A and B are shown apart, each in its own frame.
Chain A
Amino acid sequence: EAGVAQSPRYKIIEKRQSVAFWCNPISGHATLYWYQQILGQGPKLLIQFQNNGVVDDSQLPKDRFSAERLKGVDSTLKIQPAKLEDSAVYLCASSQETGASNQPQHFGDGTRLSIL
C-alpha cells in the first residue's frame, strides 16, 4: 500500500512569514496526526483528527498554528506568523483506529522547516 505522503520535503522561510504543509494519509485511515520534531528530541503531538473532527489539539499553539482536514482525507497544517523556535521537522501520521488505540501509526518522512 502507498504510504503517508507529505509535501514539501523542505521549506525555508523568514520569521514572521507564513507556511503550509500538506499531508495525504494512507487510504481508508480514519485518524490523522500532526507531530513536531525539534532536532535531538522525539516527536511531539500537535493535533489529532478522527475523520474531519479534532480529537486532541491541546499541544497546538493556536495563536499561530492551524490545521484542517476537510472531507476527512487530506490535511494541511499552517503556521502564521512563523517564529525562529518553529524550526523543526513536521511529521504527519495516520492509523486505521476509530476506537481503541492499538493500531500502529504510519508516518510520512516529514517536512523540514528552517526559519531564518
Chain B
Amino acid sequence: DAKTTQPNSMESNEEEPVHLPCNHSTISGTDYIHWYRQLPSQGPEYVIHGLTSNVNNRMASLAIAEDRKSSTLILHRATLRDAAVYYCILRDGYNQGGKLIFGQGTELSVKP
C-alpha cells in the first residue's frame, strides 16, 4: 500500500489560511488522494479527495502537484473548530474495497 508523509504538527492563527502538506512519492496511477480530519473525541470526518486536478469544496481546497508526488490541503480561513488531526491517505480508486490506511496525521492547533 502506498504511503504518505506528513509533518507531525502545525500551528496556525485564527482567520489565517493554513497549508497542510503531504508527500506521496510512491503514488500509483489509480490512487486517489483523500483527506480526513479527526476532532477530539470524535470519529474521522471526510474532507476532500482528488486524482489529478485541484479540487474545491465548502470545507477546503486540495492542490495536487503536477507529478502527483505531493499535495496540499488548504483551509482558507482557519477557525478554532478546525483544530484537529488531519490525515492524508492514498486510496486505490479502481479496485473494489480499496482500504483507507491511516498514518499518524498532522495535528493542527489554531491560536485565537
Given contacts A91-B43, A109-B42, contact A101 B95 (CB under 8 A): yes
A contact set with B: CB distance below 8 Å? 4, 41-45, 48, 50, 55-56, 91, 93, 97-102, 104-110
Contact across chains for A107 and B43 when beta carbons are under 8 A apart: yes
- Residue in A closest to B42 when the chains form the complex, CB atoms: A109
B contact set with A: CB distance below 8 Å? 32, 36, 41-46, 49, 85, 87, 91-105
User: Which one, A42, A102, A110, contacts B49 given CB within 8 A?
Assistant: A102
- Residue in B closest to A3 when the chains form the complex, CB atoms: B43
Contact across chains for B97 and A50 when beta carbons are under 8 A apart: yes
Closest 9 CB pairs of A and B: A42-B102, A107-B43, A101-B98, A104-B46, A55-B97, A102-B93, A43-B102, A107-B44, A91-B43
A100 to B42, CA, bound (A): 27
A50 to B98, CA, bound (A): 12
Closest chain A CB from B2 CB (angstroms): 14
Chain A interface helix/strand/loop/mixed: loop
Q: Known pairs A100-B93, A105-B44. 11 more at Cβ < 8 A?
A: A41-B104, A48-B97, A48-B99, A50-B96, A56-B97, A93-B44, A101-B91, A101-B98, A102-B93, A107-B43, A108-B43
Contacts of B43 in A (CB 8 A): 4, 91, 93, 107-110
Contact across chains for A45 and B100 when beta carbons are under 8 A apart: yes
